[in-house]
Amino acid sequence: MKRRKAEECFFKLMMAGSMVIVLGSLALILATILWRGLPALNLAMLTQTPKGGYYLGKEGGILNAIVGSLYLAGGATLLSLVASLPIALYLQIYATRSQMGELARLALDVLWGIPSIVYGAFGFTLMVWLGMRASLLGGIIALALLELPIMARGMDEAIAVVPSALKEASLALGATRLETAGKVIIRQTAPGLLTAILLAFGRGIGDAASVLFTAGYTDRLPDSLFSPAASLPLAIFFQLGTPFPAVQERAYASALVLTVIVLTLSLLARKLAGRLNTHIVR
């Protein structure tokens, strides 16, 4: 009897310890980024593009990377939205309980698992075939591939919780399935869909490996789809690669900027889902 209680107690302690490790590492990461990033952060970093010799510790900021990242992730999110929404609607409205629907879900899950460096390599291969150079468009395409499974599966899950009675009511009134999808389902699940979009956007903006060869890098703001574009993760990576402590400090500040953007998106997604959910007919 005593041994059983002791064992229970032991594993409870282990579980508590594990929770401390997991949550503690999140706290440690955030604390490290804040502690090293905050002192190096200033307004000029956020509002200026790099001046000449930036990586030698000269003046300027990372505006090019911030804007570039927003363009890249924004374009990729738009592009993958165009594919994700129809796919999610198809899976939930036309291909319910079909073998093909399950297969498509499996394919999306597998796509989700493909490492982003592989998307980068594939994107680069694609660009070589098309004769494109490293550009905003190339980065957008690679990132869109990365975001597609995240967004499509997120929307799929969001639409899955719509009560089937609602669908049936719409169909019974004589609406076609397409009309049900466009006028009932999309409006009912708007918060869930938006959450999926925000999460995919957040994933896209934080990814470095897929834009490494496809988007290139530049100190200027991108002025067309065919010019190279900087991105925040790569700006961090390059600043860190210089031997100058002052520039490395800026990498920490840039990491703070990226973390704040990503965490804000993630919190926003959660908040939106929570708030708008209350307006849904159940």
Partner 1 sequence: MATPWYRQRAETWQFPLGLNRRLQDRLGKWVMAWLTLLTGLLVPVIALALYLRVQPILASKPLAELLFSTTWHPLKGAFGFYPFIIGTLWVTGLAMFIAVPPSLLTAIYLAEYASERVRGLVKPFIDLLAGIPSVVFGIWGILTVVPFVEHVAMPGLGGWLGFIPLFRSDNPTGYGVLAGSLVLAVMVFPIIIAVAEEVIRAAPQGLREASLALGATRWQTVKHVVLKHSLAGVMAAVVLGFSRAFGETMAVLMVVGNMPKVPHSIFDAAYPLTALIANNYGEMMSIPLYDAALLGAALILLLVVLVFNLASRLVLVRLVRQA
User: Where in 35-94 is the site for partner 1 (CB under 8 A)?
Assistant: 36, 83, 86-87, 89-91, 94
Of 7, 165, 169, 246, the one binding partner 1 by CB under 8 A: 7
Residue selected from 107, 130, 165, 246 as contacting partner 1 according to rule CB under 8 A: 107
Q: Which stretch binds partner 1 (CB under 8 A): 1-9, 44-52, 60-68, 222-230?
A: 1-9
111 near partner 1, rule: CB under 8 A:
yes
Please tell me the distance from the alpha carbon of residue 214 to that of residue 18, in angstroms, as a whole number: 40
Please work out, in degrees rounded to the nearest 5, the angle formed at the alpha carbon of residue 68 by the alpha carbons of 28 and 154: 65
Q: How far is the CB of 137 from partner 1 (least distance, A)?
A: 18
Single out the residue of 122, 221, 268, 280 in contact with partner 1 (rule: CB under 8 A).
122
Residue 206 lies near partner 1 (rule: CB under 8 A): yes
Q: Does 142 participate in binding partner 1 (rule CB under 8 A)?
A: no
Specify the amino acid at residue 86: P
Q: Which stretch binds partner 1 (CB under 8 A): 54-62, 70-78, 96-104, 220-228?
A: 96-104
Instruction: List b or e across 131-163, with b for residues whose CB sees 16 or more CB atoms inside 10 angstroms.
Output: ebebbbbbbbbbbbbbbbbbbbbbbbebbeebe
Please report which helix (H) or strand (E) contains residue 273, including its range. Answer: helix 245-277
217-256 mask for partner 1 (x: CB under 8 A)? ----------------x--xx--x----------xx--x-
CB closer to partner 1, 51 vs 86? 86
Please select the residue that binds partner 1; options are 15, 38, 44, 78, rule is CB under 8 A.
15
Residues 255-274 that bind partner 1 (CB under 8 A): 255, 258-259, 262-263, 265-266, 270
Which residue, 45, 72, 75, 73, is CA-closest to 60?
A: 45
**Quick check: 211 and 72 in contact, CB under 8 A?**
yes
98 binds partner 1 (CB under 8 A): no
CA dihedral 164→167→168→172, nearest 10 degrees, is 170
Stretch that binds partner 1, among 6-14, 45-53, 58-66, 221-229 (CB under 8 A): 6-14
Nearer to partner 1, 31 or 51 (CB): 31
Q: With contact defined as beta carbons under 8 Å apart, do 232 and 66 qualify?
A: yes
Does 102 bind partner 1 (CB under 8 A)? Our answer is yes
Residue with the two structure tokens 């503690």: 24
Which of 40, 45, 127, 212 touches partner 1 (CB under 8 A)?
212
Q: In whole angstroms, how far apart are CA 145 and each of 190, 206, 211, 228, 233?
A: 23, 14, 11, 19, 18
Q: Tell me the torsion sign for CA atoms 63, 242, 207, 136.
A: positive
